Structure 1
């Protein structure tokens, strides 16, 4: 088991990958640098290998697929994830890894938004998207993660081996943040100085299509992790709609003793039935979620035991 594993997903980063590998080697000489090439069409893999990284390949396209492969194959006491585009400072990795190794953090977030991200990043919609996603997730999942979309993070062994990676692409950071929040893991934020990509290096993140994927991911995760809130909200909306259309029918009946709007009354009745069904669906699913959380805690304890056992055997 490695003490520190630096994980770098890589897709066409030939302009920067060597510098990124060398920077982490200088700052974390005890770490093993892993570069996972994701079907690059340039010389990224060769350059990373020349720089001294352990180069492996993931042939399913997408950052989520790469991280799934990394988490499956690598065992380490601490994992540091960074991008290969030289936008994150290697110097911050010492503080981030120390919080995992010595302060028992499960996930450490490299916080760009509290620093210079808005001035360095030349894509204004990215700034707004990061702000919106952060506010939405912290509101829905009651946490205070400072930067949801950052690709610079450190993880504990327990987090990595109990995190079910479902995303295929850039939604992976959002999924990590929600998972850690929902499972009440120890999350820390470290402010970092962000650098925009150098000339000739291009982001693979599409502001609009990937932004829509992230929003869909948030709603899907909210439905899965907070079913009572999701289905309870639907039940509340349906109840309000039914009440709005039912009140005039009821007023007419009290005044005249007649119900001239039978179709409206029938629709209101079916709407209330749907609201009741949504409420009890949320209630039952919330019970299942609670049981899953209890099972997760047991699995988390088992994973911690195996980490200690593996580390002891390595010594």
Structure 2
């Protein structure tokens, strides 16, 4: 049975001097020996404080949370990773909830649901609305309701992480992880956690509008590979609406003023035809994706059977 020695706590940080010491101590008190801090070249002494509290510290070679997480996992030898933020909003006491599905073999990836028990003032109203919107869009696009895909409290196996194709450098990493779990059939569990307000004196690195826009673009971009009907269908819907509106204007002008707009009429027809082609392309892509998923599932089953035979 796995235990805490098989887990590395991963903390991506940037200017978290006010809180990082307490966060590391909290995980040490919960029995975690391996704590890795991947720091984005902080200027407030975050790295020195983390070392003083017994964490292993590396300075990330790039920038952004996503790049820090990918680089950190590459440095981890343990089979399980418990990822949290260094700002004190996630409780080390919830680690057991996060790790139980992994240790029991029920899941390869676990998401901590912040909305299950959120302290008053822990999230602004704007952030709360944005989170709810993104979660609804994710459920619509990818067909899975993971409740809180933007949660930074995650537990996963290094093996499942390595199977994922991740490229987001910023806060889109959580969205990308959720999409990859659905896309690759990674068994995923959601557990309730406590989400607390940032301690006084610490400042968030999240910019709601800018980072929220990037997350939405990441979510839409990734739909191309997991739900091509939605991706191409949404473009087709916009094109069709534009073509119909333009055609209606041409018809109105011809009936009321006797003016024919041949160029606009041709453009309207082109938009509608292009939209139909995009929709058909989306349908064909969806069939290909479905076949790929089935083949991947069969290959995984064969690999599991071969592994069991080798163990015997």
**Under a length normalisation based on structure 2, what TM-score does the superposition of the two structures give?**
0.84
Residues 58 and 247 of structure 1: CA distance in aligned 2, closer, same or farther (over 3 Å): closer
Whether the aligned pair in 1 keeps the contact of 2:15 and 2:42 (CA below 8 Å) is yes
Whether the aligned pair in 2 keeps the contact of 1:20 and 1:86 (CA below 8 Å) is yes
Runs of 4+ in structure 1 over 2 Å off: 181-185, 232-250, 259-269, 283-308
Q: CA deviation at 1:305?
A: 9.5
The SS at the match of 2:195 is coil
Which whole-Å CA distance do the structure 2 matches of 1:111 and 1:200 have between them? 25
Whether the aligned pair in 1 keeps the contact of 2:109 and 2:188 (CA below 8 Å) is yes
- 1:1-315 aligned at under 5 Å gives the runs 3-29=6-32, 31-117=33-119, 119-121=120-122, 123-239=124-240, 242=243, 262-263=262-263, 265-290=265-290, 292-293=292-293, 297=297
Whether the aligned pair in 2 keeps the contact of 1:6 and 1:33 (CA below 8 Å) is yes
Whether the aligned pair in 2 keeps the contact of 1:157 and 1:307 (CA below 8 Å) is no
Which whole-Å CA distance do the structure 1 matches of 2:238 and 2:10 have between them? 45
Alignment correspondent of 2:255: none
Which whole-Å CA distance do the structure 1 matches of 2:280 and 2:40 have between them? 44
Which whole-Å CA distance do the structure 2 matches of 1:302 and 1:38 have between them? 41
Residues 193 and 128 of structure 1: CA distance in aligned 2, closer, same or farther (over 3 Å): same
Q: CA deviation at 1:293?
A: 3.4
Q: Mark the runs of 5 or more structure 2 residues left unpaired by the alignment.
A: 252-258
Q: CA deviation at 1:135?
A: 1.4
Alignment correspondent of 2:256: none
Residues 302 and 62 of structure 1: CA distance in aligned 2, closer, same or farther (over 3 Å): farther
The number of aligned residues is 305
Post-superposition Cα deviations, 1:268-315, rounded to whole Å, max 9, x if no partner, equal: 43223212321233234334434553565478679979999xxx9xxx
Alignment correspondent of 1:253: none
Q: CA RMSD in A?
A: 3.3
Q: Which moved more, 1:91-100 or 1:173-182?
A: 173-182
Which whole-Å CA distance do the structure 1 matches of 2:262 and 2:106 have between them? 63
Q: CA deviation at 1:182?
A: 2.8
Residues 188 and 209 of structure 1: CA distance in aligned 2, closer, same or farther (over 3 Å): same
Q: CA deviation at 1:79?
A: 1.0
Which whole-Å CA distance do the structure 1 matches of 2:76 and 2:295 have between them? 24
Which whole-Å CA distance do the structure 2 matches of 1:115 and 1:41 have between them? 33
Whether the aligned pair in 1 keeps the contact of 2:141 and 2:230 (CA below 8 Å) is no
Q: Mark the runs of 5 or more structure 1 residues left unpaired by the alignment.
A: 251-258
Q: CA deviation at 1:248?
A: 10
Residues 263 and 13 of structure 1: CA distance in aligned 2, closer, same or farther (over 3 Å): closer
Post-superposition Cα deviations, 1:13-59, rounded to whole Å, max 9, x if no partner, equal: 11211111111111134x41111121011221122112111212212
